[in-house]
Amino acid sequence: MMRPSGRNLSDMRPISIETGIMRHAEGSCLISCGDTRVLCSASIEEKAPPFLKGSGQGWVTAEYGMLPRATNTRNRREAAAGKQSGRTQEIQRLIGRALRAGVDRRALGERQIVVDCDVIQADGGTRCAAITGGWVALRLAMNKLLKAGIVTADPIMDHVAAVSCGIYAGQPILDLDYAEDSEAGTDGNFIMTGAGRLIEVQMSAEGATFSRPEMNQLLDLAEAGIAELVRAQNEAVACAG
């Protein structure tokens, strides 16, 4: 079988992570996974949300957006529509939850880091790119806190990265682009730590239900993909000095 992208079943798209892309942010990067490009920034706020007052713990949250013309046909600007879609809210809740799973919130102390993920160009897998790139922005912001001595123990416990998998024309494939995603019978996202532990599994039948053996094949693919993403994260952080 041939994937629309011409890739092998277990091939990822080329990954690039360019750091320091937004001058004002405490941490930032532009992550490209093939033609999907997401700007990620991390903003430190010296105030935790009210529900953590006095708890000694911090918070990491995320917001997600997409430029109106990131996609093939222009989407309505959410700010003009007057509300974020259910899809946007679902994605940003997912990003925040995923990133928090890799953070020791007590080591962070009572402050909040807001990770903004804005899709500049979309070609499938934007939420996974946002998580993988968002972690780099978060890592850089944490480095700033450590360097300034504001935080003494590293609040980052491990990498967090995400990749999509799906069943396309009856075959399990890794890292779906838009053309593959829109045809896949089942697809989903796996979020894992650098150590290979699971943070989140979201598999969803869009046209055809799936079996446990298929689910296991998808997990195998995901583990390989995550390892590749973690390497890219490490390189980007190393380059940022």
Q: Report the site for a copy of itself in 124-153 (rule: CB under 8 A).
A: none
69 sits near a copy of itself (criterion: CB under 8 A): yes
- 125 annotated as a binding-site residue: yes
Alpha carbon distances (Å) from 186 to 183, 195, 209:
9, 26, 7
Residues 85 and 64: their CA atoms lie apart, in Å, by: 11
- Residue 54: Cβ within 10 Å count: 7
57 sits near a copy of itself (criterion: CB under 8 A): no
Q: Which is nearest to 128 in space by CA: 41, 218, 189?
A: 189
| Element at 45 (helix H, strand E) | strand 36-45
Cβ proximity of 62 and 115 under 8 Å: yes
67 sits near a copy of itself (criterion: CB under 8 A): yes
| Strand 198-205 versus strand 160-168 pairing type | unpaired
| Strand 59-66 versus strand 112-121 pairing type | parallel
- 126 annotated as a binding-site residue: yes
Which one of residues 10, 16, 57, 71 is an interface residue with a copy of itself (CB under 8 A)?
71
First to last CA, the chain: 43
51 sits near a copy of itself (criterion: CB under 8 A): no
| Element at 131 (helix H, strand E) | helix 126-147
Q: Report the site for a copy of itself in 90-129 (rule: CB under 8 A).
A: 90, 92-93, 97, 101, 114, 116, 118, 120-121
Q: Report the site for a copy of itself in 203-222 (rule: CB under 8 A).
A: 203-206, 209-212, 215, 219
Least Å distance, CB 142 to a copy of itself, is 16
235 sits near a copy of itself (criterion: CB under 8 A): no
Q: Which is nearest to 32 in space by CA: 166, 126, 95?
A: 126
- 212 annotated as a binding-site residue: no
Least Å distance, CB 151 to a copy of itself, is 19
55 sits near a copy of itself (criterion: CB under 8 A): no
Cβ proximity of 211 and 137 under 8 Å: no
User: Token pair of 143, please?
Assistant: 């480095």
Residues 186 and 221: their CA atoms lie apart, in Å, by: 14
Which one of residues 8, 9, 35, 239 is an interface residue with a copy of itself (CB under 8 A)?
35
Which one of residues 9, 79, 150, 239 is an interface residue with a copy of itself (CB under 8 A)?
79
72 sits near a copy of itself (criterion: CB under 8 A): yes
Least Å distance, CB 195 to a copy of itself, is 8
User: Given the rule CB under 8 A, which residues bind a copy of itself?
Assistant: 22-25, 28, 35, 39, 41, 43, 45, 63, 65, 67-74, 77-84, 86-90, 92-93, 97, 101, 114, 116, 118, 120-121, 188, 193, 197-206, 209-212, 215, 219
Q: Which residues are annotated as a binding site for phosphate?
A: 87, 125-127
